[in-house]
Amino acid sequence: MAYILGIESSCDETAAAVVQDGRMVRSNVITSQIDIHKQYGGVVPEIASRKHLEAVNAVIAQAVDEAGITFADIHAVGVTYAPGLVGALLVGVSAAKALAYALGVPLIPVHHIRGHICANYIAHPELEPPFLCLVASGGHSHIVLVESYTGYRILGRTRDDAAGEAFDKVARVLGLGYPGGPAISKAALDGDENAVKFKKVSFGEGNRDFSFSGIKTGVINHLHNLEQKGIAYRKEDIAASFQKSVVETLVDHLLEAAEEHHVNKIALAGGVASNKRLREELESRAEGREIYYPAPVLCTDNAAMIASCAYYEWGAGNIADLSLNAIPNLEIDTLT
């Protein structure tokens, strides 16, 4: 039996968790800085680093305490080292290094997006690779073929904005607040999703890449047009129509990839995976394929997913020494 302490600080959540054998969550502590960044309409990197620094020790202590163990019971420390805001990542990496050194246990470097995918192992103890995963968050939109616990192949990616980023930007234009994803899906509940047809972007037959900046620009142009002509509109209708366009694009590409690679298990991961409309669209078009997604608390940034991923990376011999550094940009299929 192995207890892994996971630490996550890549963006605006300071999180620590203890996970047993990669699948069983013993504690999952998350402190969010959202209320601080809200007033700026997005994450301010320098503020994020400072807030991580203030929170990290207390969050780690709470995670160990809530797990009902002591520091001496921890077998390994897993930490997000890439990708993310470099100053924010450094806080978690430094804390993890200090702990691993002090406890004399292995230090496991975890790729944040791999972590998002591994949230599905916690939510679905029976899930095993291979499966297809859509990772859609504020910083990434990837279709990934999960070939093994540590083998990942990117089949498609966004060429501009991430899906969550598009939600955030459109919410800002509509004055719906930050983060935009939950705000848009809430507004969309009262909207007509067929009110406006925002064009879906495709790069042609067999290409699974995404572009969301076009949909975002489509919304902005549409609003300018209406405002110039003095035509009234309902924000709810725009939110619902935008959401429909993004969701259908994600699901179109995902199902095409599943078909091409003969995969019958599809998972969702990342903040956007908590979008109800996305889950419903995928389930309604799954044609017998098994669909997996984590509970919302495991979709957005957390450290339980990092500890789960660390368990499998550790098993594959991926152990870092104390020279481990934060890397702001790193592909999911590359290890340093």
List the Cα angle 307/319/303 in 5-degree steps.
15
Q: Which of residues 202-231 bind ligand KG4 (CB under 6 A)?
A: none
Q: From the list Zn ion, ligand KG4, none, which binds 274 (C-beta under 5 to 8 Å, kind-based)? A: ligand KG4
Instruction: Check binding of 137 to ligand KG4 (CB under 6 A).
Output: yes
Query: Residues 20, 241, 275, 308: which binds ligand KG4 (CB under 6 A)?
Result: 275
Q: What are 72's strand-pairing partners? A: none
User: Is residue 301 near ligand KG4 by the rule CB under 6 A?
Assistant: yes
Return the ∠ at Cα 196 (arms to 192 and 202), rounded to 5°: 120
Task: Find the DSSP H helices in the chain.
Answer: 34-38, 45-66, 86-103, 112-123, 163-173, 180-188, 213-228, 235-260, 276-284, 296-299, 304-315
State the minimum distance, in angstroms, from the CB of residue 232 to ligand KG4: 26
180 binds, among Zn ion, ligand KG4, none (CB under 5 to 8 A by kind): ligand KG4
Residues 289-308 that bind Zn ion (CB under 5 A): 301
Give the 3-state secondary structure of residue 12: coil
Measure the CA–CA gap between 130 and 140, rounded to whole angstroms. Answer: 21
Q: Is the dihedral of CA 117, 134, 33, 181 positive or negative?
A: negative
Q: Which is nearer to Zn ion, 116 or 235 (CB)?
A: 116
Site string for ligand KG4, 226-265 (x = CB under 6 A): ----------------------------------------
Question: Is residue 181 near ligand KG4 by the rule CB under 6 A?
Answer: yes
Q: Does 137 bind Zn ion (CB under 5 A)?
A: yes
Q: In what order do the strands lie in the sheet with 3-8?
A: 24-32, 13-20, 3-8, 76-82, 107-111
* Beta partners for residue 136, in sequence order: 141
Residues contributing to the site for ligand KG4 (CB under 6 A) = 11, 137-139, 164-165, 167-168, 179-182, 185, 270-272, 274-275, 300-301
Binding site for Zn ion (CB under 5 A): 137, 301
